[in-house]
Amino acid sequence: MTTVVHRLLGISGSLRSQSANTAVLNALSNRLGHKAEMSLFALNEIPLYNADLEAQMLPASVAALKEAIAQADGLIICSPEYNYGTSGVLKNALDWASRPGFKSPLKNKPVLIMTSSPGVLGGVRAQAQLRETLSATLSRVIRGPQIVIPGVIEKIQNGSFIDEKTIEFMLAAVDDLINEINVIS
């Protein structure tokens, strides 16, 4: 019997070299085992959205992002919360990836959302904003208990996310993501 390996794409909403969100995604990726393979796509080179650039020639970094999304069976997005919302860099990347409307690589793409914050709410407001943005892109946002990670800074040691309880919770949510992928396959 051949096992299908699901290809997941992780996107961190932070550009920092020591990003807590990237550390969360790396911890999850390292624990997926036979469930799936996950690669991370860094948003550092994505320019600000500009329809003029889109009309001339799609920037190479944007083309690479859209291709990575198209090739993935599902996405896992981990965003910080800045001023009660998602990061500008992540919103910008989603704006690029959502083009052209109704034919973008995000359409019907299963997406698992996670947010983190040093505060006690774990990014719930950013999560709501992401859910709304992804709804507009016609993505299939995974339903279930929200993955919010409060006090994220205390859960990082030597650059690694170490909160075992949260990792287990995230792995259960990945099962939901894989189930959604299997439904549309």
Kindly write down the DSSP assignment for every residue of 99-161, as one continuous string: PSTTSSTTTT-EEEEEEE-SSTTTTHHHHHHHHHHHHHTT-EEPPSS-EEETTGGGGEETTEE
From the candidate CATH numbers 3.40.50.360, 2.40.440.10, 1.10.3720.10, 3.40.605.10, the one assigned to the domain spanning 6-184: 3.40.50.360
The pLDDT value recorded for residue 4 is 67
Looking at the whole model, is its pTM more than 0.85? Answer: yes
How far apart are the C-alpha atoms of 13 and 65, rounded to whole Å? Answer: 14
Q: What is the pLDDT of residues 109-126, one digit of tens each?
A: 999 999 999 999 999 999
What are the structure tokens assigned to 91, written together?
């919103």
Q: Name the band, by pLDDT with cuts 50, 70 and 90, for residue 179.
A: very high
Q: What is the pLDDT of residues 10-57, one digit of tens each?
A: 999 999 999 999 999 999 999 999 989 999 999 999 999 999 998 888
Q: What is the pLDDT of residues 80-89, one digit of tens each?
A: 999 999 999 9
The pLDDT value recorded for residue 185 is 77
